[in-house]
Amino acid sequence: MNKHINVIFPMAGEGARFGYTFKPFLKATEETFIELAKKPFEQLKKYGYTYKLIFTYRYTQEDTYNVSSKLKELFYDEEFEICLINNSDGPLQTLQQTVINKKLKGPTFVCDCDHSIDILPIIQNIDSLLSKYDVIIPTWNITNDEQSSFGKVILNATTHEITGFCEKELIEVNIFQYIKGILGCYLFKDISIVSNYDSYNDISSLLKESFINKTLKLQYIDIQHADFFGTPKQLEHFRFNRAKQYSIIVDIDGTLINQETKELLHGSIEKLKDWQTKGHTIILSTASSSKNMEKYILQYNIPYDQIIYNLTPGPRIVINDKKPYLPFYCMADGINVNRNKGISQIDIEKYDPPLILETFKGASMAKVYKVIKNNNIFIRKYIHKTITNEVHVETLKRQYEDLKRWSYYAPKLTPNILNVYESPTEYYYDLEYCNNYKPLSCYDDKIINATLVNVVRRLYNDIYVYKKTIKYRTEWLNTYLNTKVYPKFDILLNLDTKIDYLLRYNTIIINNITYEPIKKLLENSLDKIHNYAPYFECPIHGDLSLENILYNSETCTFKLIDNAGSRYTDAVEMDIAKIFQSVICKFSEWDNDMDLCNFNIEYTENSTATYNIPFKYILDKHNKEIEKWLILYETCEGIDFIYKKGLFYMSTYFIRMVPFMFEKSLNHAIFILLLSHIYLNKSLK
């Protein structure tokens, strides 16, 4: 006769760690949290138990997430009930309301939905445990660093008996006692007893009171296998570990056994067993029929999880989707082995992905990750290829080529390249992680100015020296304007009406100063603009902002990162402009300043637009600190002229940046266009 047991999942939590969403329905991988939490209880059937699932959650959650319908979809073949409650101050109160509302009694598991606990050690001895104890507590070996994440049971170091309970406070262990973490998956001999206790926030408080008063017989059981996904960090690790379990499709004839003699090839069984031990799924495949092949599988006791017969003898193509939470992880690949050479030498560990430690802001559609693999930390710059982002893929490739080139020109000026990879669907390269380096923008003005002098001097000595003279300077500048700047105006006119009006007005007033519109100014100042044409081209950085200069305050050294993928050679004035963007216009503060600009516009023809932006973004003239590094750029031109030339190229950069800034906000786009008005007027007036 089957015995029955209840399984309660209290799900009334607010899901604060995941942005106040309904946590049980979050996808851990392909399955939701609640599906994974429920799966271990399927083992009850093997030991003669039937079970009923009971899900408890709030009325408001039902209204918002349509929980009952989703549960029917997920557990259509399971017996379950729902228990709706108004509010709850914690898991114990949720459990008590469930017991009272459903009039529950008898053996019952109570399990959280943010982990998947292999409860086999409990199930295997369930009858014996229930005959002796009132509550069985699953425990987990934890480190001191993990104490704040677990309720804990305190044990006698000699007898291993329970001596107390505590929540997430730090417990000092000694030679007389030790601790284990409590997993939220309790087994109660009679669940009705929980209604006899005060409504504590957590079940461990109930256990503590019952232990002190000796009202319940308690026993702990060590759990050997569990998966945790209750915090964003735990979820990240869970996904990473799941993704490391492969599905390995292995041919039989010519791969595991000799094609002609049908003898087992050396190392085949050992390799398959090793893969299975590591959690991989083995799928055998063959073009033969089951009738012809089964005898060899039985004869050699070949281990496998699934098998596919009667395939064609041609190529086998595996198609799989990319994991959005592991974007650079190869989800399908193939290994070709020579016939009858076996699989003993195959190493699949090369497919293990590095673990993402941090995600940085990337440029040009690339993703930038700080990752770790085999205890080595490095930086990965990654892009997924699509039909629409080919130009961004090429930009990242050029950046890689620039790094290779610069590492030859100027050793140690850039991080070392570790690896590069390309497939039809993705491209990435790996760089050394510059430990103890931070963006130069994080430091004070004294360090910034001193470092800029050293940066520019190093560029002139090791990079800019590879230069060629520009024979037709005016033609060069016209080409730059016609290809890089003027086409942007057509794009800007279609972004937003406020940007359209800003470009069309005859008079622009910014902080009570009148400026000529940039389109008109460019058209009327060609003679002066042509004076700003560069004299030579050379390799340049292309995005020399303070964010791309890393500085180590302990060693007083710097490294340059994120070359912009510019043309093979370009004008050094472009690097001046990017430094200006940081030191004059404080580029690093644009993301943080919520009030970059405000404006008052009357939408009538030939009217005046009035704007205000913070004065900290406006510099009237160059200062001595700027001169210290700017003078290094001087040849036959005076410092004032070089300064104005830098402002001109910075202003044109700003025009080119407007569409990118518009993606952040309309306010950002207008702000950078206003800066272009200010500094273009300063350079040409």
Q: Identical fold at 244-346 and 438-684?
A: no
pLDDT of residue 91: 86
pLDDT of residue 474: 94
- In tens, the pLDDT along 12-21 reads 998 888 989 9
Is pLDDT of 614 > 90? no
Closest CA to 217 of 110, 132, 305, 340: 132
Distance CA 307, CA 305 (A): 7
Mean pLDDT of 526-540: 91
- In tens, the pLDDT along 358-370 reads 888 765 678 899 9
144 pLDDT band (50/70/90 cuts)?
confident
- In tens, the pLDDT along 25-71 reads 999 988 999 999 999 999 999 888 999 999 999 999 999 999 999 99
Amino acid making up residue 320: N
Distance CA 166, CA 151 (A): 6
Helix (H, G, I), strand (E, B) or coil at 512: coil
606 pLDDT band (50/70/90 cuts)?
low
Distance CA 252, CA 300 (A): 12
Of 92-101, 425-434, 607-616, minimum mean pLDDT range: 607-616
Is pLDDT of 598 > 80? no
Q: What is the CATH number of domain 244-346?
A: 3.40.50
Is pLDDT of 340 > 80? yes
- In tens, the pLDDT along 459-486 reads 999 999 999 999 999 999 999 999 999 9
Distance CA 497, CA 515 (A): 20
636 pLDDT band (50/70/90 cuts)?
low
Q: Is 23 exposed, middle or buried (0-12, 13-18, 19+ CB in 10 A)?
A: buried
Is pLDDT of 143 > 70? yes
CA distance readout (Å), 397 to 412, 421, 428, 429, 458: 20, 10, 8, 9, 25
429 pLDDT band (50/70/90 cuts)?
very high
Is pLDDT of 327 > 80? no
Distance CA 547, CA 441 (A): 6
Is pLDDT of 635 > 80? no
Is pLDDT of 221 > 70? yes
Bridge partners, residue 306, by sequence:
283
**CATH class of the domain whose range is 355-432:** alpha beta
Strands (E), 398-464: 417-422, 426-432, 438-439
138 pLDDT band (50/70/90 cuts)?
very high
**Phi-psi category of residue 534: left, alpha or beta, with phi > 0 → left and psi -120 to 50 → alpha:** beta
Mean pLDDT of 375-402: 89
- In tens, the pLDDT along 261-280 reads 999 999 999 999 999 988 89
Pick the residue with more confidence: 201 or 639?
Answer: 639
Q: Are 150 and 182 in contact (CB under 8 A)?
A: yes
- Mean pLDDT of the residues in the chain: 89
pLDDT of residue 498: 83
493 pLDDT band (50/70/90 cuts)?
confident
b/e 416-442 (16+ beta carbons within 10 angstroms → b): eeeeeeeeeebbbbbbebbeebebbbe
Of 153-162, 490-499, 530-539, minimum mean pLDDT range: 490-499
Closest CA to 481 of 530, 531, 517: 530
Pick the residue with more confidence: 493 or 280?
Answer: 280
Of 95-104, 352-361, 463-472, minimum mean pLDDT range: 352-361
Is pLDDT of 605 > 60? no
Query: Would you tell me which CATH number, out of the four given (1.20.1640.10, 3.90.550.10, 3.30.830.10, 2.60.40.1220), belongs to the domain 3-235?
Result: 3.90.550.10
pLDDT of residue 358: 86
Pick the residue with more confidence: 621 or 683?
Answer: 683
Q: What is the CATH number of domain 438-684?
A: 3.90.1200
Distance CA 181, CA 146 (A): 9
607 pLDDT band (50/70/90 cuts)?
low
Bridge partners, residue 383, by sequence:
427
Give me the residue spans of the domains in the chain: 3-235, 244-346, 355-432, 438-684
